[in-house]
């Protein structure tokens, strides 16, 4: 069962709306998200537990870096190198 659709993004300690497109452009010099980066980032910002297993060059780093940039609290990243034969 997929996780519930994230609600509008709001910081947990204030009512300020987070503009992830602005953060993507300003901090990462990118114009758009890859599919499904936006959904992953929104889930993290809405304090869902997120597990991402994806191929090299998917953009997993952005999925944890962008939420960290908007300062939502402690973020944890754990990566496991997967041999291409295991994919």
The total of structural domains in the chain comes to: 1
14: in domain: yes
CB-based contact 44:82 (threshold 8 Å):
no
Q: Which domain holds residue 31?
A: 1-74
Name the average pLDDT for the chain: 77
Stated pTM of the model: 0.64
The yes-or-no verdict on residue 1 having pLDDT over 60 is yes
Q: Is there a contact between 50 and 44 (Cβ–Cβ < 8 Å)?
A: yes
Residue 82 lies in a domain: no
Per-residue pLDDT reduced to its tens digit, 17-46: 788 999 999 999 999 999 899 999 999 888
Residues 87 and 80: their CA atoms lie apart, in Å, by 12
Residue 83 lies in a domain: no
Contacts of 59 (CB under 8 A, 6+ apart): 33, 34, 37
- Domain membership flag for residue 35: yes
Residue 84 in any domain: the answer is no
Mean pLDDT comparison of 60-64, 66-70, 76-80, highest-scoring range: 60-64
The pLDDT-based confidence of 15 (bands split at 50, 70, 90) is very low
């Amino acid at each position: 069962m997929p996780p519930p659709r994230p609600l509008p993004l709001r910081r947990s300690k204030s009512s300020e709306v987070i503009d992830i497109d602005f953060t993507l452009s300003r901090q990462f010099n990118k114009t758009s998200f890859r599919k499904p980066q936006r959904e992953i980032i929104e889930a993290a910002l809405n304090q869902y537990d997120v597990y991402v297993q994806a191929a090299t060059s998917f953009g997993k780093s952005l999925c944890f870096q962008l939420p960290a940039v908007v300062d939502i609290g402690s973020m944890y990243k754990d990566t496991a190198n997967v041999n291409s034969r295991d994919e």
